[in-house]
Chains A and B, each alone.
Chain A
């Protein structure tokens, strides 16, 4: 089934069955590998992307159901032009193995868009679906607070 997708400001034509999840369209068809496969059942958040700014688990979004602009980690910022939230992640040296961090950052970016000054409780609530087996949570929390400040000052 041919389908037109808007991803990171670009248009992509893909020809895949309607039930293929967005995650596997991004990774195996389009070659955007920044979005990660972790569990396939929306239990880890590694595959988090934004659809029209809202954080979603791309392993649960069928190609046929996608409407709106998709933003992946590659669309948030690049090594030469990082988003503020990515800079905050660097400042706090958050990542260890780094595999879950694309999803963590996409989830946190969505939180900050809704709530520019999240409390610790707001962070707990928004980030509880994003698993990190390295346990980088203390630095993720600190980086979210820093990113909030950086965005306020901008």
Chain B
């Protein structure tokens, strides 16, 4: 057992040996440390896969994509906490694609159970199961998992680095390591001797990595406090390097035109007008797409626009209506899952009042501000890729398969991401750059998609239908029976990402529907899976983005049917099930001065959704301005258990709200002739300065387990707004976007 524990420590895992020995997942294979991907250079100590020290100081490899969520800064704070350096003095880089950088927290989400009621044992187990992602080389950023993943691993990396540097100093000075201390990037020895980490780097490289206990929370200097973001200066001065900012000597610029009918081929194209246009070097046939390479992105784009293409037609239903008919047809199959089945939902309790509702939500695009792009250089036996991506090992593996190179010959450089939201966990845009680079052997090439190409070639949030039967009796919720049908992001997306067929009950598909912390005696949730049609993917908060709307909307309808205050109604249900969920409701109630009454022309709505480990309550206030709706104010309370940087968590929560409101008000991807109808921001708009409400955020840290930050702010936004509109107008919105039925300022 001791040796297993040591191996686990070495690979920065914390699953205890006792648990490892006791579960089926605890085989040795998963616990072999992944090889250290960092090659030490002269005068440089690579202390572990996350920290290296050289003459310029301490560098942290934070192998999670910095896409705005602040992961680089928060991981720097975690390392700094143990290493005794100022986080602002730590250089943070994305690092290479490597097995050592697997995400241990993300796979843990796949464990059975509702999450909020998991025991400590299950949470530890989750960390062990997280090892599966190492086995699958899953170096990904997503699922609001980075802090859960890094919280222990980064501190262990910092502690190990500190003790190793101290050991190097002890050997040089001929004193016991126990007599040494560390402060501000230096080892302090008795008699006022100080040695900087940089000075010790070479010697530390020759010392065996040392282990150390983690410091108790009472000693923390950085964790739990706002730490200035290390990417801020670059991002306000235009010097941060995004994917599109990659500049390599001799680099060409490319534009692309892909089939608007997903997955279909290209019959022929006519590039006679394009090939002689200004700035054009080459027109390339990519088999199922056509690209132009030239001296300037815009000139290449003009030329690609001038190419006439005869596309193969779509092999799936061609209109929104026909696609939704297929989603509806899934209800006729046996359910894929019944993740909650409490009591009896088949018989209406005696004297209860029945509510039946069907909700329909559209497909959605991610619309990151930075359009899809990647840069690649192929030299025959080596491929280098520069890309704003959320999954470097997936990029690497996919490019290797495409070129026939060994994965080791594919070098992935992760730039800053101009928004991710789940779109950049896909690798289609990288593969396209690789295809072009292969035809330009020896010449680096940057492919940038037009906004139109980006909008019309996404992996979309699936359109979804929720059919609910619910009942109230004597002012109380007595039954909820939800049936949810949509294409499965888990089966299609994870299957695509891992190259593995996915089957069995799909928990992700019904997330934020079956696992809501509400005490309802008769409660069943069934998931139905529609056949693959439109490419679907991971959109901020994934299935919780539609299930949160279904499950909170029905609760609001029940509250009104029961003639109860909607907040008090939810509070009663939450209090009886899980206290932290009740606490976030009480917090928004108190922050907003909720009284259950609003003056003429003002409406308020509340929503509560538990997702990604975090209960989140929101209240939204709307005002009638001469028939137009203004969203004037929002209050958010979320309990993350522990917030590494509360100021950054606040930003993530209102960002999640803005993303959710954008979709709720305006977001809709529709289809005609098998192609997406929306092209650009004028027909796929989002919250803007005047439409964004003023926001107050409360970050609670009371529940026992660590919750996510990036996603939980999104699911409650749409139901809170729809509930507010009901309060204002008496009109119940069961479809989104709301701009179909309401006019927003």
List residues of chain A with CB under 8 Å of any chain B CB: 16-17, 20-21, 23-24, 27-29, 31-41, 43-44, 46, 72-74, 77-79, 82, 86, 89-90, 93-102, 105, 123-125, 127-141
A101 to B238, CA, bound (A): 8
Least CB distance, A82 to chain B, in whole angstroms: 7
Least CB distance, B457 to chain A, in whole angstroms: 16
The answer to the question of B3 belonging to the interface, with a C-beta cut-off of 8 Å to chain A, is: no
How many of B's residues come within 8 Å of A, CB to CB?
66
Of B228, B231, B244, B662, the residue contacting A36 (CB under 8 A) is B244
**Residue ID in chain A nearest B450 by CB atoms:** A40
A contact residues around B371 at 8 Å (CB): 37-38
Q: List 28 A-B contacts (CB under 8 A).
A: A20-B296, A21-B298, A23-B298, A27-B297, A28-B298, A34-B238, A39-B681, A40-B450, A74-B238, A78-B239, A93-B228, A95-B68, A95-B235, A96-B68, A96-B70, A98-B240, A98-B242, A99-B242, A99-B418, A127-B688, A128-B689, A131-B686, A135-B655, A136-B651, A137-B658, A137-B687, A139-B651, A141-B689
A contact residues around B231 at 8 Å (CB): 95, 98
The answer to the question of B1 belonging to the interface, with a C-beta cut-off of 8 Å to chain A, is: no
Q: 1/0 per residue B279-290: CB within 8 Å of A?
A: 100000000000
Least CB distance, B618 to chain A, in whole angstroms: 14
Pairwise interchain contact B680-A101, C-beta atoms closer than 8 A:
no
Pairwise interchain contact A38-B369, C-beta atoms closer than 8 A:
yes
Pairwise interchain contact A137-B419, C-beta atoms closer than 8 A:
no
- For window 364-412 of chain B, which residues contact chain A by CB distance below 8 Å? 367-371
Of B233, B279, B659, B682, the residue contacting A133 (CB under 8 A) is B659
A3 to B244, CA, bound (A): 25
The answer to the question of B179 belonging to the interface, with a C-beta cut-off of 8 Å to chain A, is: no
- For window 277-316 of chain B, which residues contact chain A by CB distance below 8 Å? 278-279, 295-299, 301
Interface of B is mostly: loop
- For window 209-246 of chain B, which residues contact chain A by CB distance below 8 Å? 226, 228-229, 231-242, 244-245
Pairwise interchain contact B278-A17, C-beta atoms closer than 8 A:
yes
Of A16, A32, A131, A139, the residue contacting B296 (CB under 8 A) is A16
Of A73, A90, A135, A136, the residue contacting B228 (CB under 8 A) is A90
The answer to the question of B67 belonging to the interface, with a C-beta cut-off of 8 Å to chain A, is: yes
Stretch at the interface among B180-188, B554-562, B690-698: B690-698
A13 to B68, CA, bound (A): 36
Least CB distance, B245 to chain A, in whole angstroms: 4
List residues of chain B with CB under 8 Å of any chain A CB: 67-70, 226, 228-229, 231-242, 244-245, 247, 253, 278-279, 295-299, 301, 367-371, 416-421, 448, 450-451, 647-648, 651-652, 654-655, 657-659, 662, 680-682, 686-690, 692, 694-695
**Residue ID in chain B nearest A23 by CB atoms:** B298
A37 to B641, CA, bound (A): 39
Q: A97-B419, A134-B419 are in contact. Are A37 and B244 (CB under 8 A)?
A: yes
B contact residues around A129 at 8 Å (CB): 688
Q: A17-B279, A134-B68, A137-B687 are in contact. Are A24 and B451 (CB under 8 A)?
A: no
A90 to B279, CA, bound (A): 40
Least CB distance, B718 to chain A, in whole angstroms: 14
Pairwise interchain contact A93-B651, C-beta atoms closer than 8 A:
yes
Pairwise interchain contact A97-B237, C-beta atoms closer than 8 A:
no
Pairwise interchain contact B67-A35, C-beta atoms closer than 8 A:
no
A133 to B69, CA, bound (A): 13
Least CB distance, A60 to chain B, in whole angstroms: 12
Pairwise interchain contact A43-B681, C-beta atoms closer than 8 A:
yes
- B236, B240, B245 pick with most chain A CB within 10 angstroms: B236
Q: A97-B416, A99-B370 are in contact. Are A90 and B296 (CB under 8 A)?
A: no
Pairwise interchain contact A130-B689, C-beta atoms closer than 8 A:
yes
A contact residues around B298 at 8 Å (CB): 20-21, 23-24, 28
Pairwise interchain contact B69-A96, C-beta atoms closer than 8 A:
yes
Pairwise interchain contact B299-A20, C-beta atoms closer than 8 A:
yes
8 additional contacts, CB 8 Å, given A39-B680, A105-B236?
A16-B279, A37-B448, A78-B239, A93-B647, A97-B369, A102-B238, A131-B369, A140-B689
**Residue ID in chain A nearest B253 by CB atoms:** A28
**Residue ID in chain B nearest A132 by CB atoms:** B369
A81 to B324, CA, bound (A): 55
**Residue ID in chain A nearest B455 by CB atoms:** A39
Least CB distance, B408 to chain A, in whole angstroms: 31
A100 to B612, CA, bound (A): 27
**Residue ID in chain A nearest B240 by CB atoms:** A98
A125 to B240, CA, bound (A): 28
**Residue ID in chain B nearest A73 by CB atoms:** B238
Q: A93-B229, A96-B651, A135-B657 are in contact. Are A36 and B370 (CB under 8 A)?
A: yes
- B226, B369, B420 pick with most chain A CB within 10 angstroms: B369
A147 to B380, CA, bound (A): 52
Least CB distance, B697 to chain A, in whole angstroms: 9
A104 to B296, CA, bound (A): 25
B contact residues around A24 at 8 Å (CB): 296-299
B contact residues around A86 at 8 Å (CB): 236-237
A127 to B690, CA, bound (A): 8
A139 to B657, CA, bound (A): 14
A89 to B417, CA, bound (A): 19
Pairwise interchain contact A31-B247, C-beta atoms closer than 8 A:
yes
A contact residues around B245 at 8 Å (CB): 33
A90 to B299, CA, bound (A): 36
Pairwise interchain contact A82-B236, C-beta atoms closer than 8 A:
yes
Pairwise interchain contact B451-A94, C-beta atoms closer than 8 A:
no
A44 to B662, CA, bound (A): 14
A contact residues around B681 at 8 Å (CB): 38-39, 41, 43-44, 131
Least CB distance, A28 to chain B, in whole angstroms: 5
Pairwise interchain contact A99-B369, C-beta atoms closer than 8 A:
yes
B contact residues around A102 at 8 Å (CB): 238
- B68, B228, B238, B654 pick with most chain A CB within 10 angstroms: B238
B contact residues around A41 at 8 Å (CB): 451, 680-682
Least CB distance, A151 to chain B, in whole angstroms: 16
Pairwise interchain contact B680-A133, C-beta atoms closer than 8 A:
no
A124 to B688, CA, bound (A): 9
Pairwise interchain contact A89-B236, C-beta atoms closer than 8 A:
yes
B contact residues around A23 at 8 Å (CB): 298
Of B226, B236, B242, B416, the residue contacting A90 (CB under 8 A) is B236
- A23, A24, A77, A139 pick with most chain B CB within 10 angstroms: A24
B contact residues around A135 at 8 Å (CB): 654-655, 657-659, 662, 687, 692
Q: A37-B244, A44-B369, A79-B234 are in contact. Are A133 and B451 (CB under 8 A)?
A: no
Pairwise interchain contact B369-A96, C-beta atoms closer than 8 A:
no
A136 to B244, CA, bound (A): 22
B contact residues around A100 at 8 Å (CB): 369
Q: A20-B299, A24-B296, A97-B420 are in contact. Are A123 and B689 (CB under 8 A)?
A: yes
A89 to B421, CA, bound (A): 23
Of A17, A46, A79, A136, the residue contacting B239 (CB under 8 A) is A79
B contact residues around A95 at 8 Å (CB): 68, 229, 231-232, 235-236
B contact residues around A133 at 8 Å (CB): 367-369, 419, 421, 659, 662, 686
